Amino acid sequence: MDQADSLRQLAAAGKIAKRPLRVYAVTSGKGGVGKTNVTANLAVVAARAGKRVLIIDADLGLANVEIVLGLKPRYHLGDLLDKGLSVSDVLCEGPAGVMLLGAGSGVRSLTHLSDEQKMQFISALDPIEEMFDIVLIDSGAGIGDNVLFFVGAAQEAILVVSPEPTSLVDAYATVKVLSQKAGVHTFNVIVNPVVDELAARGIFQKLTAVTGKFLEAKVRHLGYIPRDENLHRAIMAQRPVCEMFPSSPSARAIASIGERLLADKQTGAMAQDPQAPALGGGLKFMWQRLFRESQAVAG
């Protein structure tokens, strides 16, 4: 038996922990605060750092990620069910090798799926576990059923907050619902757009003044992104700003946020939930747990 064989046997026996897939849901309370751009650009940063990155566009009906990445995927999430395609059939490759599982109108019906169909959908996503290191889910704003479903598959949320008072109130509501209903433990806050670090810290403190008082969830300051005309120009060119203008202020801010995220080994339900690694972690575990809980509630 060679070394690879013995490693495989050990892994099969559960003696070597598989490197867990890290799943982040990018979300916000209020719409239009930069989720899609944060998702696309963080994905590019992580891919450039050598990670195998998948974006799931869960912002149903709008399919924004493909626009920001300049892609026209042939298939979408819904085709996993409707056309019985495999996950590798429906993926589409974008800049820096980032892979995209696009949103499609078919996915709109996700909340209306039967339990059997939900399980079928979850099983269809199984191979993702082996294919990628990081999954970024661009979830819609707010707390609708589809958002809960997708965000519930993540160990952590990246919460994009704009400096407007309404955004803060909505961000609080989002932390509340996602921590209580979708089991998200940790919220990494990005303030966007904001003038400087000091202003970003001020916004963050306003948010944690309330989350810290009323909620259990861990809310951390991940970084801020300055308002930057280059970001807008990149959107118009349908390219991520980190690709098109890598030394612009917004691209540099996103790059350092990405580095911080990649360097962070302590985060995630994986670290906090002793059950998770035993079950393989990642998407499937989270969805199965949600599924069981929803059945328990229904029963």
Ligand X SMILES: Nc1ncnc2c1ncn2[C@@H]1O[C@H](COP(=O)(O)OP(=O)(O)OP(=O)(O)O)[C@@H](O)[C@H]1O
Q: Which residues bind ligand X (CB under 6 A)?
A: 28, 31-37, 59, 64, 141, 192-193, 225, 227-228, 231-232, 235, 250
296 CB-side CA count, 13 A: 6
Q: Which residues contact 19 (CB under 8 A, 6 or more apart)?
A: 133
For the record, the structure tokens of 134 come out as: 């990081």
In the complex with ligand X, which residue's Cβ is closer, 61 or 212?
A: 61
Helices and strands per DSSP (H, E), number in the chain = 16, 8
Q: Which stretch binds Mg ion (CB under 5 A): 60-68, 161-169, 220-228, 235-243?
A: 60-68
Q: Which stretch binds Mg ion (CB under 5 A): 11-19, 62-70, 211-219, 225-233?
A: 62-70
Buried b (16+ CB within 10 A) or exposed e, 131-164: ebbbbbbbbbbbbeebbbbbbbbbbbbbbbbbbe
Q: Name the minimum Å distance from CB 52 to Mg ion.
A: 23
Q: Decide: 39 and 160 in contact? Cβ < 8 Å.
A: no
156 binds, among ligand X, Mg ion, none (CB under 5 to 8 A by kind): none
Q: Which residues contact 37 (CB under 8 A, 6 or more apart)?
A: 68, 231, 235, 240, 241
What span, in angstroms and rounded, lies between the C-alpha atoms of 193 and 229? 11
In the complex with ligand X, which residue's Cβ is closer, 229 or 293?
A: 229
Q: Name the minimum Å distance from CB 156 to ligand X.
A: 18
Q: Name the minimum Å distance from CB 169 to ligand X.
A: 16
What span, in angstroms and rounded, lies between the C-alpha atoms of 186 and 270? 11
Hey, which residues between 13 and 52 contact Mg ion (CB under 5 A)? 35-36
In the complex with Mg ion, which residue's Cβ is closer, 103 or 255?
A: 103
Q: Name the minimum Å distance from CB 36 to Mg ion.
A: 3
Q: Which stretch binds Mg ion (CB under 5 A): 61-69, 84-92, 126-134, 245-253?
A: 61-69
Q: Name the minimum Å distance from CB 58 to ligand X.
A: 11
What span, in angstroms and rounded, lies between the C-alpha atoms of 23 and 54? 9
Instruction: Report the interface residues with Mg ion, using CB under 5 A.
Output: 35-36, 59, 64
